Amino acid sequence: MLPSLPRRRLLAAGGTLLGSALLPGPAHAGDAWQTVALPHARQRDLASSITGGRYRIFLSVPQDRDTPAPAAGYPVLYALDGNASFPLLAQMARMAGWRSKVTGQPAPVIVGIGYATDDDYHPDRGRDYTPASAGAPATEGGADRFLDFIEKELKPLVRSLVPVDPRRQALYGHSYGGLCALHALFTRPAMFQTYIAASPSIWYRERAVLAGLEGFGKHAAALAVKPSVLLTAGELEQPAGAGANGATPGSRDAIAAQRRMIDEARALSAKLGAMQGTVSRAQFLLFAQENHGSAAFPAMARGMDFFLA
C-alpha cells in the first residue's frame, strides 16, 4: 500500500532537492535557476545480488569542523522509502548536530534506502517490505531477502565510508515500511537497537506479522542489549465508533475501521512492554489531527528524539 502522502517530490536526479517551495526575489540580469543541493548529502545506485533489485542509497554525514567523530562512531539511522524520507531526516540530523553541544548527543548518520527513480515511492516496496505469508503473490513477501540485503550488502558499504557505532543503529519505516520494521524486530532483534514503526500495516495478510511475537520473545530474552521500539499512528487513521459502524462497505472508512491502525499499534506496544526481558523501551504515540500520510512527518521527528534519547 502506498502512503497517501501529498505529492511532495523532494529529490531530483543527482541527490538534490527540487526548489519548489519558495520563489526568489527579483531576478537580475544573468541570473538562472539552479538545482538546490542538499548540504552534506550524497547518493549512489546499488544493485543487490540478494534481492535482484536496484536501490538508490542516500547518505548524510554530520559535518562539524570543530568536533571530531565520536570515538565509538556515529549513531546511524536507516530509513525506508528513502526517496521521500531522507531529505527530512537529514535536515533533522543537521539540527541535532547544531544542538549537540547542548544535548551532549552526537548527530546521527542518515542512510536512506530508496529506489532508482525520481519518484517518492516505488512499487517494489510492496515486495521488499512485506513478510512471506501463505497465498501471497510473487510481488510480495520479500522482506527477509531485503533485510539480508541491508545486513550483508548495505551495512558493510556504510561502514567503509563513515565510522558508525554498531551499538546505536535504528530502522525507521512508515506504513508498509513500518510493517517491515516490525518484521525485522521480531525475526532479527539484534539487527538494530531501535525500531521505529510509523503507522505500521499490521493488518497485512490477516496480521501475519504478529506470528513472529513468540519467536521474538525467545530471541530477545537472550540478548545482552534489549531493543527499543516506538510505534506511532495518526488520530485520523481509524474512524471513531459511529463513523466506523455507519461506513459504506468497501469505502475508505470501512477499510480503515477494519484495519484498526491505532488500536493495533497501541495494543502491540502494550504487549511488547509487558514481555519482560525482551525490550528496553516500548512506546506508542498518537498524533492529533494527522492522517495516514501526514502522520509520517511527526513520526520522523519524534522517532529521531526517541532514537537519540
pLDDT in tens, the chain (309 residues): 544 434 333 333 334 333 333 344 555 656 899 888 898 899 999 999 999 999 999 999 987 656 788 899 999 999 999 999 999 999 999 998 888 778 778 899 999 999 999 999 999 999 999 999 988 899 999 999 999 999 999 999 999 999 999 999 999 999 999 999 999 999 999 999 999 999 999 999 999 999 999 999 999 999 999 999 999 999 999 998 645 566 788 788 899 999 999 999 999 999 999 999 999 999 999 999 999 999 999 999 999 999 998
Q: Write the CB contacts of 196 (distance below 8 Å, at least 6 apart in sequence).
A: 170, 171, 172, 173, 178, 181, 230, 232, 299, 303, 306, 307
Instruction: Sheet containing 16-17: give its strands across.
Output: 11-12, 16-17, 36-37
Residue 190 phi/psi, 5-degree rounding, is -90, -5
The CA-based dihedral angle spanning residues 10, 12, 16, 19, taken in that order and rounded to the nearest 10 degrees: -60
Q: Write the CB contacts of 218 (distance below 8 Å, at least 6 apart in sequence).
A: none
Q: How far apart are CA 67 and CA 126, in angstroms?
A: 41
Q: Coil, strand, or helix at residue 186? A: helix
Q: How far apart are CA 81 and CA 121, in angstroms?
A: 6
Are 216 and 186 in contact by the 8 Å Cβ rule? The answer is yes
The pTM assigned to this predicted structure is 0.88
**Which grid coordinates belong to 287?**
498524533
DSSP-assigned letter for residue 221: H
**What is the topology classification, in CATH, of domain 40-308?**
Rossmann fold (3.40.50)
In this structure, the strands spanning 109-115 and 54-60 are antiparallel
Domain ranges of the chain: 40-308
